[in-house]
Structure 1
Amino acid sequence: ILPYFLYTDPGTAKNFIRYRIKTLAGALRKAKSYGYIGAFYAWESQETGDDACSDYNVTDVFTKRPLRTYFKDKQIHISAAVVYAIKEYIDATEDYSILLEGGFEVIAECALFYLSRCVYLPLRQRYEFHDVTGPDEYHERVDNNAYTNRMALFTFETLLTYWDDFLKDDNTFILNTAKKIKLEKYIPLMQDVAKKIYIPQPESDDPHHHNVIPQFDGYFSLEDCSLNDVKKRLLDPKEYWGGANGVASQTQISKQADVVLMLAVFDDEYGKQVKDANYAYYLPRTEHGSSLSSCMYGLLACRTGNKKDAYAFFKKTAETDLSGDSKQFAGLIYIGGTHPAAEGGTWIMVVNGFCGYKCRNGEISLSPDLPESWKSVTFTAKVRGTDYLITVTKEGYEICRK
Structure 2
Amino acid sequence: MMNYSLGKGSYKDWLLAETAFSADALGKSEAVMLLGNGYMGLRSDNEEPYLAERRNLFINGTFNKAEANEVTELPNAANVTRLDIRVDGERFSLELGETNDYIKQLNMKDAELTRSFDWTSPKGKTLRFRFSRFVSFDELHLIAMKMEVESLSHDVALSIDSGINAQMTNSGVQHFKEGERRIADGRFIQLVQTTNESAIDFVHNTVHALKLNGEKITAQADKDMARRKAWMSYDIELRPHDHLVVEKLSTVHTSKDSDLNSGTYSLEQLRAESLGQLKGHDVLGYDALFEVHRRAWQQKVWGAYNVEVESSEAVDQLALRFSLYHLTAMMPAHDEQMGIGAKALSGEGYKGHSFWDTEIFILPFFILSNPQAAKSLLTYRYHGLAGARKKAQDNGYRGAMYPWEMAWPTDGEVTPVWGDIDIVTGEQTKIWSGFIEQHISADIAFAVYQYENITGDRQFMERCGYEMVFETAKFWASRLEWNDAHRQYHINHVIGPDEYKEHINNNAFTNHMAYFNLKLAMRYADKLSQEHTELWETFGLEADYADWREKAERLYLPEPRAEDLVIPQDDTYLQLTEIDLAKYKNQTKVRTIYRDYNAEQINGIQVTKQADTLLLFYLIDQTFLRGDRRFSEAAKKANFRYYEARTLHDSSLSLATHAIMASDIGERELAYKLFRQTCDIDMGPDMKTSDEGIHAASIGGIWKSAVFGFAGVRLADGKLRINPRLPKNWQRLRFTVYWQGQPLQLDMTHESMDIEASAGRPVEFETGGTVYTVDRRLNIPLNHQQSLSST
TM over 0.5: yes
Q: What's the CA shift string for 1:230-252, capped at 9, x where partnerless? A: 799xxx95837886524x22111
Q: Is the 8 A contact 2:614 2:639 kept in 1?
A: yes
In 1, Cα distance between the equivalents of 2:583 and 2:680? 27
Residue 322 in structure 1 maps to residue 683 in structure 2: yes
Correspondence for 1:392 among 748, 766, 780:
748
Q: Who is 1:331 aligned against?
A: none
Out of 93, 99, 110, the residue aligned to residue 472 of structure 2 is 110
Shift of 1:193: 1.3
Over the aligned positions, Cα root-mean-square deviation in angstroms equals: 2.3
Tell me the secondary structure at the aligned position of residue 380 of structure 1: strand
CA distance in structure 1 between the partners assigned to 2:641 and 2:688 by the alignment? 23
C-alpha distance in 2, partners of 1:385/1:261? Answer: 27
- Residue aligning to 2:556: 198
Q: Which has the larger Rg?
A: 2
- 4+ long deviations beyond 4 Å: 61-64, 229-232, 240-244, 324-328
Distance 1:172 1:365 in 2: 35
The answer as to 2:44 corresponding to 1:44 is no
- For 1:273, the aligned partner's letter is A
- CA distance in structure 2 between the aligned counterparts of 1:327 and 1:284, rounded to whole angstroms: 26
Which residue of structure 1 aligns with residue 769 of structure 2? Answer: none
| Matched ranges for 1:11-26 at <5 A | 11-26=372-387
Q: Any conservation in 2 of the 1:302–1:353 contact (CA below 8 Å)? A: yes
Report the equivalent of 2:658. Answer: 297
What is the DSSP-based 3-state SS (H/G/I as helix, E as strand, rest coil) of the residue aligned with 1:287?
coil
- Cα distance in 2, alignment partners of residues 372 and 341 from structure 1: 26
How far has the Cα of 1:371 moved from its partner?
0.8
* Amino acid in the other structure paired with 1:147: F
Query: In structure 1, what residue type is equivalent to 2:654?
Result: S
Question: Could you tell me how far apart the structure 1 residues matched to 2:745 and 2:729 are?
Answer: 22
Give the partner amino acid of 1:215.
Answer: Q
Checking the alignment, whether the CA contact within 8 Å between 1:30 and 1:42 is kept in structure 2 is yes
Length, aligned pairs only: 385
Q: 1:59, CA displacement in angstroms?
A: 2.9
Q: Which runs of 5+ in 1 are unaligned?
A: 329-333
Deviation (angstroms), 1:173 = 3.7
Aligned counterpart for 1:185 among listed residues 543, 548, 564: 543
Task: Report Cα offsets for 1:262-312 as digits up to 9, x if no partner.
Answer: 111123342221111111111111110000000011111001111111001
Aligned equivalents of 1:255, 1:266: Cα separation in 2: 21
Between stretches 128-137 and 271-280, larger displacement belongs to 271-280
> Contact 1:77–1:148 (CA<8 Å) still a contact in 2?
yes
Match of 1:338 in 2: 694
In structure 2, what is the Cα distance between the partners aligned to 1:27 and 1:371?
42
Asked if residue 215 in structure 1 is aligned to residue 569 in structure 2, the reply is yes
C-alpha contact (below 8 Å) 2:453/2:718 kept by paired residues: yes
Deviation at 1:360, TM superposition (A): 3.8
Q: 2:442 aligns with which of 80, 95, 100?
A: 80
2-side partners of 1:325 and 1:217: how far apart? 38
Partner of 2:420: 58
Q: Distance in 2 between matches of 1:39 and 1:243?
A: 33
| Contact 1:104/1:174 (8 A) holds in 2 | no
5 Å-filtered alignment, 1:115-134, equals 115-134=477-496
Distance (whole Å) between structure 2 residues aligned to residue 149 and residue 258 of structure 1: 12
1:7 equivalent in structure 2: 368
Deviation at 1:226, TM superposition (A): 2.2
| Distance (Å, rounded) in 2 between the aligned partners of 1:98 and 1:231 | 44
Task: Name 2:353's counterpart in structure 1.
Answer: none
Alpha-carbon separation, structure 2, partners of 1:33 and 1:249: 28
TM-score by length of 1: 0.90
In 1, Cα distance between the equivalents of 2:739 and 2:603? 43
Distance 1:33 1:242 in 2: 34
* Counterpart secondary structure, 1:279: helix
The amino acid that maps onto 1:91 is N
1:145 is matched with 507
Out of 738, 744, 759, the position equivalent to 1:382 is 738
Specify the SS of the correspondent of 1:72. helix
Q: 1:285 aligns with which of 625, 642, 646?
A: 646
**How far apart, in 2, do the equivalents of 1:231 and 1:78 lie?**
28
Q: Normalising by the residue count of structure 2, what TM-score does the alignment of the two structures yield?
A: 0.47
What stretches of structure 2 of length at least 5 have no aligned partner?
1-361, 759-791
Name which structure has the greater RCO, CA cutoff 8 Å, separation 6+. Answer: 1
Counterpart in the other structure of 2:60: none
- Determine the C-alpha separation between the residues in 2 that align with 1:119 and 1:335: 42
Q: Is the 8 A contact 2:423 2:598 kept in 1?
A: no
